[in-house]
Amino acid sequence: MDLSTLYLHLLLVLHDFSDAYENLALRKSAWQMHSHLWGAELAVDGQFSNLSHFGNQCTIYGNEKSTGEWRVDLGTVLSVHHVFIQYRTENLPWDQNNDFTGRFLGFSIYISNTTSKEDGTLCFKDKIYFRSTIPNPVNITCIQHERYVIFYNNRTYAPFPSGSSTYAYNELCELEVYGCPNPGFYGVNCSIPYPLNCQEGHCEIVRGTCLGCDRGFRGENSAWQRYPFHTTPWAANLAVDGRYEDLSAGGGQCAISANAKHIAEWRVDLGEVLSIQSLFIQHRTDDLPWDERNQYTSRFLGFSVYISNTTNKDDGTLCFKDTNFTVDTIPNTVNITCRIDGRYVTFFNNRTHPPYPIGYSSYAFADLCEVEVYGCPISGFYGENCSIPCPKNCQERYCDIVSGACRGCDVGYLGQKCDEQCNNNTYGSKCSKVCQHCINAEQCDYVNGSCPNGCAKGTYGDKCDIACPSGLYGYNCQDNCSINCGVPERCDRVTGRCEAGCKIGWDPPKCDAECEGTFGDNCSNACGFCFEKEHCHPLNGTCINGCDSGYKGQQCTQVCNNSTYGPNCSLTCGNCLYLYGEQCHHVTGQCPLGCVDGFTGTRCLLLKEGSQYLYPIIYSSSAALGVIFLLVIIIIVKRKRSRMRRHEQEKETKRKVQSYQLNDVYDYAGEDQASFYEVDASSESDHIYAPVN
C-alpha cells in the first residue's frame, strides 16, 4: 500500500469517527501569537470554503516571525479523540510548487490543561513530510483528556529541513477538535458513562479506560501507554496483570507499542503516593532465546525508569537509565532498586537524536510483558512488614521504606527523622530562612518566622523584616523623627539620630529637646552666667532675666570691670590696694590684695581707728547733714505756701493777716537760721577727737 492510499484510508476512518464525535472547538475562544489582520477566531468559525486571504476564512500570522503558536480553549477539560486541520492554499493546487506547503512543514500539535504547551502532551510532530508529501487537510489522532489544543511551529535553529520556509507561520483556515462535548462519557456517540472510580471522572474516550483511579481503588485500567500498537489485544494494562508465561505477541500477556515511533512511554498509576523498594521488568522476547540475535534486545536498550507524583515523568525522579548495556549484556528480567515515594512509575525510551549506540533499534518501543512495583501498600509506614509509622514530622508522612529517614521535613524541622526544631535564628522549610530582627535577637517562630515578642528597633511586621519608613524609628516604628533635624524628619530608623545634625538651638542626637545650659549649632556653646543659673536662650545664648552677680553683657560672659562688682555690676569696689591693676572680686567685692592704708574689712569700706582719713570724713558727714536739714526746711516752706494759695479767695483782711503772718514766719526763719549757725558754732567745741595736725 503506497503512502497516498494509506492516507486516503486514514481519512475515511477518521471521517467515520467525526460522525461519532462533535467538533468541540467550533466558535470557542481562540488566541494566536503575533496576530495579523485575520484573527485567531477565523480558524474555528466552521468556514473553510475559500482558502485564500481574500476569503476572510483563515487566520493569518504576522510576517518574519521565528515562532508561531495558535490555540483554542475548549472551555473545560474534555475527552478528545482527534484533530482536523485545513491549511491555507490560496486556492492553488496543493503540491510542491505551492509556497504554503513549506510553511506547513514541521508543525506540532499539543494538548494541555494549561495555556502552556510544555505542561501538556505532544500529540504530533512533523519530522517526515516534504513539500510534495505533506497532506492538506490532515487528521491527527490524539486520545487525550485536556482543555487547550495548541498548533505550534518554529524556525529558530537554522538550517531547517529541505523545503521549509524561512519563517514560522500559523495560517489555519480551520482547526476542528473532535471528542465528547460533556465530561463523564465515552464510546460511540459519547453515550457510555465513565466507570465510577476513575480519578476526577476521566477515562479514555474509546474503551473507557480510567486515566487514574480514585484513592483506594485499583483496576485493569491503572496502566497507560503512549502510542499503543492497538488498544486490544496488547493494551497497557497487560503489563500489570500478573501474567508473563507467554512473552510473545500472540500470548495476550504483553503491552506492545506502535511501530515507527521515536518516543515510547508507559506508566502505571499506584493510586496514591506509596513507599517503593524495587521494580521488576519482564520484556517481550517472542519466546525466543534472549541474546544478540533476538531483535527485542535492541528495542530494550537505552530504557529509563522514572517515579513521580504526576503523570509527567520530568516532575519526578530518574531511578534508572541504561547507558552501559549492549545486545549481548542486557538482562531480561531486570530488577531495579529504587527506594522512593511516588504514585506513577514510568517506563521510557526514545530514539530522537541519532546516531544511536551500536545495537540500538531505529525506533523506540515499550514492549512490556510485566512490570511489578514492590513496596508498602499503605502510605506512611516503613520497615519489616511495613509496620512502623513514619516519623510524625516527615513531610506528608513519607519516609524511606527501610530506614524510616524522612524524604523531607515539615516546615520548621531538621534531621533524618525531622525531630529537631529550627534554631540558631533559622526557620521554615529545611530551616533555610534566617530570622530577621526580633527584639533582643530572640529566636523567631521556627515555622513561620514571626517574632513572638515583637521587633527590634527600626523594623516592623510579623517577621520584623520591614524597615521603618522614612520619618519613623524605634520599636515598631512608633516614634517620629524630629522636625528639628537638619533635614526635617530624616533620622536613623533604629536610634532616631538625625542624619544631618540638628537645627540651631536643638540638642543632638535626636534633636527632640531644646539646648539646656548650652546654645547654638548642635548645642556646642556653653551658656554664660545667667541670673540664678537659668538656661540661656537656645538660639543666641542671651540671658532672658539678666546676669548673675558679677557679670554683664547679653550673654553674661563679661566679668564686671572699671572697679565695679555685684548685681549688674552696679556696686563700686571699696578702697582696695591695687598693685598691678587688679580690682575687687567681681562677685563679692572683696579686695584680693587687701586695703589701702586707713581702711579695713573684706571690701575695705571701714576706716581704721586713728586713721588720718577720719576728720575729712567727719567734716564731710557734717556738711551732708547740714544740707539735708536745709532741704527739710525748704520742703516745709513750700508746703506752707501751697496751703496759702488755697485761701486766696478769703476775705481781704484775712489775706493781709496771712501775709503779715507769713512775713513774721520768714523773719522767724531767719532767726532760726541764725540759731543753726550758733548750733554749728557751739558744736565745734564738742568734738571728741583731737585735731590731726
3-state class (DSSP) for residue 683: helix
Model confidence band, residue 392 (pLDDT cutoffs 50, 70, 90): very high
| Region 634-662 average pLDDT | 52
- Residues 343 and 309 sit within 8 Å (Cβ to Cβ): yes
Question: Could you tell me if 161 and 64 lie in one domain?
Answer: yes
- Residues 103 and 171 sit within 8 Å (Cβ to Cβ): yes
pLDDT at 43: 96
Q: Which domain holds residue 366?
A: 212-375
| Region 246-251 average pLDDT | 91
Domain-located, residue 529: no
Contacts of 81 (CB under 8 A, 6+ apart): 17, 21, 141, 142, 143, 178, 179, 205, 206
The DSSP H or E segment spanning 636 is helix 614-645
Distance (Å, rounded) from C-alpha 474 to C-alpha 404?
48
Q: Is the pLDDT of residue 538 over 90?
A: yes
**What are the strands, taking DSSP E only, across 351-425?**
368-375, 381-382, 388-389, 413-414, 420-421
| 258's grid cell | 506502535
Question: Could you tell me if 49 and 134 lie in one domain?
Answer: yes
Q: Using CA atoms in the order 645, 646, 649, 651, what is the torsion angle rounded to 10 degrees?
A: -90
Domain-located, residue 632: no
Q: What is the pLDDT of residues 447-462, one digit of tens each?
A: 999 999 999 999 999 9
Q: Is the pLDDT of residue 579 over 70?
A: yes
| 675's grid cell | 540759731
The DSSP H or E segment spanning 70 is strand 67-87
Going by C-alpha positions, the residue among 404, 243, 273 that lies closest to residue 344 is 273
Model confidence band, residue 9 (pLDDT cutoffs 50, 70, 90): very low
Question: Could you tell me if 47 and 125 lie in one domain?
Answer: yes
Question: Could you tell me if 332 and 231 lie in one domain?
Answer: yes
| 272's grid cell | 496514591
Of 105-119, 283-297, 663-677, least confident by mean pLDDT is: 663-677
| Region 556-583 average pLDDT | 89
Domain-located, residue 415: no
Q: What is the pLDDT of residues 586-638, one digit of tens each?
A: 999 999 888 988 999 989 989 887 655 554 554 555 555 666 678 767 767 66
Question: Could you tell me if 248 and 355 lie in one domain?
Answer: yes
Final residue in a domain of this structure, among 347, 375, 403: 375
Q: How many CB atoms lie within 10 A of CB 471?
A: 16
CA 44 and chain centroid, separation: 43
Q: Is the pLDDT of residue 199 over 80?
A: no
- Residues 261 and 363 sit within 8 Å (Cβ to Cβ): yes
Domain-located, residue 505: yes
Of 69-73, 211-215, 667-671, least confident by mean pLDDT is: 667-671
* Sign of CA pseudo-dihedral 611, 612, 613, 618: positive
**What are the strands, taking DSSP E only, across 435-531?**
459-460, 466-467, 472-473, 479-480, 518-519, 525-526
| Number of domains within the chain | 3
Going by C-alpha positions, the residue among 249, 211, 208 that lies closest to residue 230 is 249
Domain-located, residue 286: yes
Q: Whole-number mean pLDDT of the chain?
A: 84
Distance (Å, rounded) from C-alpha 466 to C-alpha 452?
16
Going by C-alpha positions, the residue among 58, 147, 165 that lies closest to residue 102 is 165
pLDDT at 669: 34
- Give me the count of residues in the chain: 693
Domain-located, residue 27: yes
Q: How many CB atoms lie within 10 A of CB 390?
A: 27
Nearest 5 degrees, angle CA 258-CA 262-CA 266?
55
Question: Could you tell me if 363 and 237 lie in one domain?
Answer: yes
Q: Phi/psi at 40 (nearest 5 deg)? A: -60, -30
Q: How many CB atoms lie within 10 A of CB 628?
A: 9
DSSP string across 278-338:
EEEEEE--TTS--STTSHHHHHHTT-EEEEESSS-GGGSEEEEE--S--TTT--SSEEEEE
SS percent in the chain: helix, strand, coil, step 5: 20, 25, 50
Model confidence band, residue 665 (pLDDT cutoffs 50, 70, 90): very low
Question: Residue 230's domain is classified under what CATH number?
Answer: 2.60.120.260
Q: Is the pLDDT of residue 646 over 60?
A: no
pLDDT at 225: 67
Question: Could you tell me if 161 and 252 lie in one domain?
Answer: no
Question: Could you tell me if 299 and 362 lie in one domain?
Answer: yes
Domain-located, residue 607: no
Final residue in a domain of this structure, among 315, 341, 375: 375
pLDDT at 208: 75
Distance (Å, rounded) from C-alpha 592 to C-alpha 333?
122
| 567's grid cell | 548685681
Q: Is the pLDDT of residue 63 over 90?
A: no
Domain-located, residue 627: no
Q: What is the pLDDT of residues 400-423, one digit of tens each?
A: 999 999 989 999 999 999 999 999
Going by C-alpha positions, the residue among 514, 538, 264, 248 that lies closest to residue 369 is 248
Amino acid occupying residue 203: C
Question: Could you tell me if 162 and 110 lie in one domain?
Answer: yes
Question: Could you tell me if 175 and 220 lie in one domain?
Answer: no
Question: Could you tell me if 274 and 137 lie in one domain?
Answer: no
pLDDT at 287: 94
Angle of helix 652-683 relative to helix 614-645, nearest 10 degrees?
Answer: 170
Helix (H), strand (E) counts: the chain: 5, 33
Question: Could you tell me if 8 and 71 lie in one domain?
Answer: yes
| Region 14-30 average pLDDT | 77
Final residue in a domain of this structure, among 480, 513, 546: 513
